[in-house]
Structure 1
């Protein structure tokens, strides 16, 4: 529990390898995660090669940890393997649809998070790359992913070379709803976001971006509506190209 409560994202790594035995043991543990129907409709691409990392880097906006981490793990929805098994056993698969894209996402993310907890317990540091679904076609090309295989999240892994401060989290009452969903009043919103808005680093973000509120930094700078719509359309188109 203390490891979970004290965890932090690590973006800087020692130039020290992760042994194949340790990595495989962690992945083997991760693959015990819950999975719909015990089908395990996911695959993980392990990238150690520097040239391959360099091919992946542009898809992740050249964030430095993609090339400096000893290992990059791309967790993929994989309906290809299970569909092939069905076809070879005289069964007709029907998994090339949105329902199973979502199911594969859930399976892959459960495995990814279980891996991260196991890795951190061993002293490794991890960083999730939320950019995976921004440029999926670039990752598909770099990793040569076939039809019905789709990248859903990426995790960089290595021995930490930093100990950054923990970032803030919303209080429990902001997220937990007893029995049914209880909508937020304006007073609730003010109270629940007060601490986040009070932090000096967040006040600095507002100044640096010439905005009035922290929310505007998110909506006008970090995750703009027009960007979200372009990426959504691209995601949908790439999903279809991959056979979903």
Structure 2
């Protein structure tokens, strides 16, 4: 299991081989064994396999091709709708119309998503997380007909790999692990921790093709711009309000 985790690669190209219902259910069963706050299981997973539904869902992820190519796309949702209904049907008034409850449900959903990904990889499948889910959550809500109390938090495509990409680099362990208390970073330590990443040929090419001076500028000026962050933050906050979490 540890070996599988250490060898993880993001797979964006898939063969046309379908995932059997039995295998998909086995993976989802492993997913729902994830830890959950208070054993409430305040999440839901929407499975997209129908070609017409993939066509509708793709624009919600900026038309990334893996959404339509993968045999299965899973949308993991923070979901207090089901739990709220159960409470009211048992003469218990829920108090989960707040941001903390959204965070609780979002964490639950992400734990399930990671379980599903690991289970899928143990079966020889490839996965790809789609960070676009929270950008266009309002559109996904419409396509998947999510009721009040339900917010999509991440999406994962799953299928049999049709590529074997190089493993993406990671920062060294001492860059992200702090013992006992958080140790803030000096200028010298930042330079040392990011040196290997910045010196990779693929990242140098990334800088050149975007006509930037540094790799950091590619992130701040091209990939994750302040204006975009602010816009999609406003969209997501409105989604939380509309879905009853604010």
TM-score by length of 1: 0.99
2:41 corresponds to: 40
Q: Secondary structure at the match of 1:179?
A: coil
Aligned CA-pair RMSD: 0.6
2:68 paired with 1:64: no
1:195 maps to: 196
Q: Structure 1: how far apart are the matches of 2:28 and 2:98? A: 27
Counterpart secondary structure, 2:47: strand
How far off its partner does 1:25 sit?
A: 1.1
1:21 corresponds to: 22
Alignment of 1:44-193 (within 5 A): 44-193=45-194
Equivalent in the alignment of 1:205: 206
Residue by residue, what CA displacement relative to the aligned partner does 1:29-51 show, whole Å, maximum 9, x if unpaired? 11110000000000000000001
Q: Hey, what does 2:221 align to over in structure 1? A: 220
Once residues 64 and 84 of structure 1 are traced to their aligned partners in structure 2, the CA distance between those partners, rounded to angstroms, is 37
Query: In 2, Cα distance between the equivalents of 1:210 and 1:22?
Result: 45
Q: Distance in 2 between matches of 1:202 and 1:219?
A: 15
Mapped partners of 1:236, 1:129: distance in 2: 19
The alpha-carbon deviation at position 205 of structure 1 amounts to: 1.2
**2:178 is paired with a residue of what secondary structure?**
coil
**Matched position secondary structure for 1:44:** strand
Q: How far has the Cα of 1:150 moved from its partner?
A: 0.6
Spell out structure 1 runs of 4+ moving beyond 2 A: none
Structure 2 Cα separation of the partners of residues 207 and 30 of structure 1 = 41
Q: Distance in 2 between the 1:197 and 1:38 partners? A: 43
Partner Cα separation in structure 1 for residue 200 and residue 160 of structure 2: 29
Cα separation, 2, equivalents of 1:72 and 1:115: 12
* Cα deviation digits, residues 164-192 of structure 1 (max 9, x gap): 00000000010111110000000000000
Structure 1 residue 202 displacement after superposition: 0.7
Task: Look up the SS of the partner of 1:37 in the other structure.
Answer: helix
Alpha-carbon shift at residue 136 of structure 1 (Å): 0.6
Instruction: Give, in whole Å, the separation in 1 of the partners of 2:33 and 2:23.
Output: 16
How far apart, in 1, do the equivalents of 2:214 and 2:69 lie?
A: 34
Distance 1:57 1:138 in 2: 11
